[in-house]
Amino acid sequence: MTRPAGIPGSTLLGPFPVGAYAAKLRDELRKRARVQLFGEVWGFKASKARVYFELRDGEGALPCAMWRNEFDALGAGALADGARVVVAGGPDYYPGSRSSSPHFSFDVTALRLAGEGDLLAQLDLLRKRLDAEGLFAPQKRLARVPLPRTIGVVTGESGKARDDVLAGLRRRGWAGRLVWAFAPVQDRHAAPAIARALQDLSACRVDVIVVARGGGSLADLFCFCDETLCRTVALLQVPVIASVGHHTDRTLLDDVAAESCSTPTHAAEAAVPRHCDDARTQLAAFARRLEGHGRRAVLDRARLLARMSRAPAQHVARQRLALHQSLRELRAAGRRGLAERSRRAERHALVLSRKGAATAAEAARGATLERLRIALDAHDPARTLDRGYALVTDGAGEVVTSARAARHAATVRLRFADAAVDATISDRDPTP
């Protein structure tokens, strides 16, 4: 390859072919003193020949690589995020080739586990501190708008999260104003940039803010655990919905935010709690029912009024009709009553005449009976005795009606009105 001309005006040496420079860079780096470093392991990955991870602390990080057989010889197994290690080795640079990419790494020749991860412990401490300060609560107390007009979204400009947010909003039938606040969502510049974007969106009076980022390791998401960012979010007056990292790891932003969702799509749906199409259908139904009531209220009352306005004439006509009817009925009833009364009178007269005849016959029978009774009484012997006569009977109870019979009887019984006495006849007939 022929060497091209350099940049006009530049006093720097060259131009050199990049491959030669990369090889030189590798040589320079390899010359650096071998050292021991300590930090935490993040994003551990193993390939057939090498293992890769990042060694981190709060200030910075180095990509590390180690031969697989050397690593396996340690018997440490896969290293979890946050595992604290001491490594020995030095920087190395792979210059790449026509078909492979260059990369820098710290070439690890020895590794020792050194206890629990510091970063995770720090994160836990910070979480407890923020919680104790009550910073997890204020966002949750903010009023949420069921139909936000303006939604702010903080996300990476090129990430897939952007499409997911749009999909979620479409699913809600939402088509208002969407304000994109693009920010880096991974490196050490991310947290301040995100905090600034949130403050700017809040100042623009958006109704709700979604902070979205696709999945990644907790190390990738560490910017969302930044203390300043979390304090900023806690004090915002606009609700923030967090959707970072698909929830495999919980960031502090998830704790501080008004709501935390597992995906950007869900976050978008959570930002619009009310489904717009459903709301439209419901509102149309409300409007129809109200109009129905309105129509009925007016029509029913109008009918009533019309009825009332016709009322006097109708009332008189109705009453007249009723009166005529009554009159007819009265006359008919009168006629019926008269006939009935005369029939009843005739019947009464008949009964009376019959009763009169019966009475005369009965009186005659009574008089006869009385006569007979008097006659009988006159013939009653008891009546004669009452007047002072006596009845004479012989011993056989036969009535003695002659002196001769009395002499013959010798003893008789004299019955007076009050009692009977026996008597002996002294004047007896000497010769019968």
Partner 1 sequence: MTDQQATTHTYETATARIEEIIRRLDSGDAGLRETLELLREGRGLVEWCAGELEAVGQGLEELRLDELVARLESGAPR
- Interacting residues toward partner 1 by CB under 8 A: 143, 145-150, 152, 166, 169-170, 173-182, 197, 200-201, 204-205, 272, 274, 276, 279-280, 282-283, 286-287, 289-290, 293-294, 297, 301
Spatial CA neighbour of 414 closest among 406, 428, 112: 406
CA–CA separation, 203 and 211 (whole Å) = 16
Residue 249 or 259: which CB sits closer to partner 1? 259
Residue 81 or 269: which CB sits closer to partner 1? 269
Residue 172 or 250: which CB sits closer to partner 1? 172
Q: How far is the CB of 209 from partner 1 (least distance, A)?
A: 11
**134 — alpha (psi -120 to 50), left (phi > 0) or beta?**
left
| Residues 6+ positions from 425 with CB-CB distance below 8 Å | 406, 407, 409, 410, 411, 412
On the CB side of 176, CA atoms within 13 Å amount to 19
For the chain, the C-alpha Rg in angstroms (whole number) is 69
H runs (alpha helix) in 261-310: 264-271, 276-309
DSSP output for 313-355: HHHHHHHHHHHHHHHHHHHHHHHHHHHHHHHHHHHHHHHHHHH
Q: What is the 3-state secondary structure (H, E, C) of 228-271?
A: HHHHHHHHCCCCEEEEEHHHCCCCHHHHHCCEECCCHHHHHHHH
Residue 51 or 272: which CB sits closer to partner 1? 272
Q: How far is the CB of 301 from partner 1 (least distance, A)?
A: 6
In the chain, the amino acid numbered 174 is: W
Peptide bond into 15 cis (omega under 30): yes
Residue 289 or 336: which CB sits closer to partner 1? 289
CA–CA separation, 391 and 121 (whole Å) = 159
Q: How far is the CB of 297 from partner 1 (least distance, A)?
A: 4
Residue 151 or 244: which CB sits closer to partner 1? 151
CA–CA separation, 195 and 231 (whole Å) = 9
In the chain, the amino acid numbered 171 is: R
Residue 22 or 279: which CB sits closer to partner 1? 279
Residue 189 or 343: which CB sits closer to partner 1? 189
